[in-house]
Amino acid sequence: MEINKEIDESQQGSATVVKSDKPLNGKKLYLESYGCAMNFADSEVIASIMNSEGYATTSDVHEADIVLINTCSIRENAEDRIRKRLSDFKNRKKRQPGLIVGVLGCMAERLKQNLLEEEKLVDIVAGPDSYRDLPNLVNEVGGGQKAVNVLLSRDETYADISPVRLDKNGISGFVSITRGCDNMCSFCVVPFTRGRERSRSPETIVRECHELFNAGYREVTLLGQNVDSYRWNMTSKGEVKDETQSTTNFAQLMELVAAVSPDLRVRFSTSHPKDMTDEVIEVMAKHDNICPYIHLPVQSGNTEMLQRMNRGYSREWYLNRIEAIRRIMPDCAISTDIITGFCNETDEEHQDTLSLMREVQFDFAYMYKYSERPKTLAERRFEDNVPEEVKGDRLTEVIDLQLSHALAANQRQIGKTHTVLVEGPSKRSEDFFSGRNEYNTKTVFPKGEAKKGDYVKVKINECTSATLMGEIVEILPPAKK
């Protein structure tokens, strides 16, 4: 698992009107997504599947005939929030007979019997590989039965489906390039909920990126649990599967996507330290529209801890990858994931994490206390024996250190000029725009003559640990192809 970052706010269904192969049937679908970017991308696939059967999407839950909740199992508190939400919908069903409620995604895969039979919270349970079956599952419920399909697939990538874009800004889009995960990190439930890793054909990925650009999007993020292990027509050992077809690795795929347009920014998430090659970094350095930003989760700075986590690399190897990034692409921003209080973590191992943070000086970090998940290797092999108070204290140390590093990194940008993609109005004022610079830092500035979707040069005047503030010095014209 790499890509699962819990998101505090859910993303709800959009009321965007989309084309359908069938006439609309008068029924409305409300989608709500929790967890990682992959879940949000999956919800767009789900909307497309249901739309092709005549269901319109809506952002108003009160007018919905079907409510589908796309869920996350990465941490216990994520599941607790979703259970509460499902309980709210169960109560709504008493006031709205005929309302169909379904739970999808990782939580559905893990808790199918509990949700259907013991807690009676939902009518439909569908795992990540069964979304094509949703129209049939809805029909089963219409016939008075509960419906479930949580079969995992070795082949399903939904490559032929054009997602219905549910995002609100219409500027940045997600494109899935792989599904599933073959890494067996001992703390992670993803291999058990999303199945084995498989790659999507490069032709369909590039086509989707073209469609996004033509629809006005100016940034795509290529998604996978481990994008570096993307292999088309290759085995995990790099052997060719079909001699009549070409092969594509992740570095080559990025080049294909970068060629869509110089005005289309390319990002990706998430890399795995054991698989990131110099070739990937070299391709990034070669193309101006591939953003110089890498999310490279370390989880711990201690080699023995990394072995318990089954991460497949050592502290030394991780630092080797950091050195390669900074040698090939010196201005690249780097972020990470850190878990505190994993099984048997000693104070010395925790100190090793702090020392690695000081050595690398991450620009951003996602930081969590360890939360044991059922069915994982850690649950079977180790005891969750670090007291919650100690986990919390260590997490506080990690957060405080990271905030100081992030603030220092942003302070170094004062006086410099960055290229920012305008994403929309700032949350705090309609007089300001916000967007991210090439290094993935949120940047806020007065609107001036710019409009959403423009690339602008912004001179940085001040900052916080999370945000840069400045003023537009130039609105960039479209790039020449």
Q: What are 87-137's pLDDT values in tens digits?
A: 898 888 888 888 999 999 888 877 777 777 766 788 999 999 999 999 999
**Separation of alpha carbons 447 and 433, rounded Å:** 5
Encode pLDDT of 334-388 as tens digits.
999 999 999 999 999 999 999 999 999 999 999 999 999 888 999 999 999 999 9
Which residue, 17, 23, 107, 110, is CA-closest to 68?
107
pLDDT value at residue 82: 85
Q: Are 297 and 323 in contact (CB under 8 A)?
A: no
Query: How long a stretch of residues is the chain?
Result: 481
Below-50 pLDDT ranges, the chain: 1-21
Q: At what angle do helices 134-142 and 37-51 cross, to 10 degrees?
A: 60
Tokens of 70: 């796309």
pLDDT value at residue 22: 54
pLDDT value at residue 108: 81
- Give CA 201 to chain center in angstroms: 20
Which residue, 203, 175, 129, is CA-closest to 269?
175
Q: Are 270 and 224 in contact (CB under 8 A)?
A: yes
pLDDT value at residue 9: 37
Give me the DSSP letters along 253-322. Answer: HHHHHHTT-TTSEEEEE---TTT--HHHHHHHHH-TTB-SEEE---B-S-HHHHHHTT-S--HHHHHHHH
Q: Which domains does the chain have, with CATH numbers?
A: 11-149 (3.40.50.2300), 172-411 (3.80.30.20), 417-475 (2.40.50.140)
pLDDT value at residue 93: 87
- Give CA 35 to chain center in angstroms: 8
Helix (H, G, I), strand (E, B) or coil at 95: helix
Place of tokens 């052997």: 239
pLDDT value at residue 119: 65
**Separation of alpha carbons 445 and 428, rounded Å:** 11
pLDDT value at residue 23: 57
CA distances from 166 to 17, 43, 57, 155, 174 (A): 10, 8, 9, 25, 11
